Amino acid sequence: MGISSWKEKVLPKIKKVFEKNGTKKAAAAEVTKAFEESKGQYTTEFEGKKTELEAKVVEVYEASPSEVKALIKEPKEAGLKKHSAAVQKFLDELVKIEFPGAKTVSEGATKVGPSYLSGPITFLFEKVSTCIPEEVKKEEEAPAAAAETTAESSEVKEKEIVVEAEKKEEVVTEAVVEKVEAPAEAPPAKEAKVEEAAPEPAPAPAPAAEPPKA
């Protein structure tokens, strides 16, 4: 679809939707519908120009941030919304190299935001992905994988630290509980002092008997 036909067919519909209710969803639905109707034409144009587009697409791809590269690999609506500015810039770059369908999607995304046009953008990203040589993808994936591995390693270490701290806390808690619950030892019984009985006094000797008188 050329610029003239875009202005004659699609743009008036978008303007009409905005004038009628001004809602992004309605405008996005109109853009998506127009795009779907022309998808076959875009595919034919792309296949016919793919050879000459590949070098240009690779150049645009390599100049893009890692967030956009990740979305090209796996488009997600949440990602399109989170990185809308970067996605919009990428779409604008596709327009500059006359990538089939990019003009329609770029103009629509400017008005409603990339997240509302996830269908058309996914279609474009799938076509873009076929233009990226595997060696380029691997070169881009290696740093990302290393960064992901580092992040996972850090996360594992943090979990280990938390688990170790919890174990120490449990040990301390158990020691305190045991100390509280253990019965107090009774003090050693004092040995009763055995008082020795005082010896009884010996009986006094009987008086000697007097001799009989003559």
Write the Ramachandran bin of 98: left for phi over 0, alpha for psi from -120 to 50, otherwise beta.
Answer: left
pLDDT score of 21: 46
Mean pLDDT by 10 residues, the chain (214 residues): 63 62 79 91 93 93 93 90 94 95 92 91 94 78 49 58 62 54 54 52 59 55
Q: Report the 10 Å Cβ neighbour count for 5.
A: 11
Kindly give the residue spans of alpha helices, DSSP state H, lying in 63-182: 66-73, 77-82, 84-96, 102-112, 118-129, 134-181
Position 209 scores a pLDDT of: 56
**pTM for this model (two decimals):** 0.56
What residue segments make up the domains of the chain, in order of their start? 8-140
Residue count of the chain, please give it: 214
